[in-house]
Amino acid sequence: MDQFYGGATDGKSAERAEQLRQALFGDPPMAYALVAVDGDDLVGIASWSFLWPAVGLTRSLYLKELYVTRSRWRSGVGTLLMQAVFEVAAKNRCSRVEWTTDSDNPDAQEFYAGLGLQQVPSKLFFRADATVIERSLS
């Protein structure tokens, strides 16, 4: 996934495994995930967090990552993961599922459009990285 997004894989395998354990199994968990496997191969992942408040003081599900290995594109893995995410949202009485995709990722945009999902042009995405967070605290 890091390679797909053009980033470097930071940290040793054991460090990354510990980060994953803390995020998914800490108290409280910081995120949730579903994985798609084929035999011993990890072929996809969907990860999310719940947000509050949403419409009418309900909660929403924020899909942080939907990733399918390139060899499994157009195989139905992404669709199955999205359906599972929607089931989680319904089970948890979420009023929305929201996510972003990079503007230079036409494959993802085509995938979401193919599911009948609409882009929300009225929203803008902002980000404060660790440097900005630290600077704002000093």
Domains of the chain: 13-137 (3.40.630.30)
Q: How confident is the model at residue 6 (pLDDT cuts 50, 70, 90)?
A: low
- Pairing relation of β-strands 32-38 and 41-51? antiparallel
In the numeric block, which tokens belong to residue 96? 């929305």
Q: What is the mean pLDDT of residues 19-25?
A: 74
Note the pLDDT of residue 48: 96
CA distance linking residue 45 with residue 64, whole number of Å: 10
Strand ranges inside the chain, DSSP E: 32-38, 41-51, 59-68, 94-98
Neighbours of 56 (CB within 10 A): 6
Distance, in Å, from the CA atom of 66 to the CA atom of 48, rounded to the nearest integer, reads: 9
Q: How many residues does the chain have?
A: 138
The residue with greater pLDDT, 24 or 82, is 82
Does residue 97 contact residue 89 with C-beta atoms inside 8 Å? yes
pLDDT digits (tens, 9 = 90+) for 83-131: 999 999 999 999 999 999 999 999 999 999 999 999 999 999 999 999 9
pLDDT at 27: 82
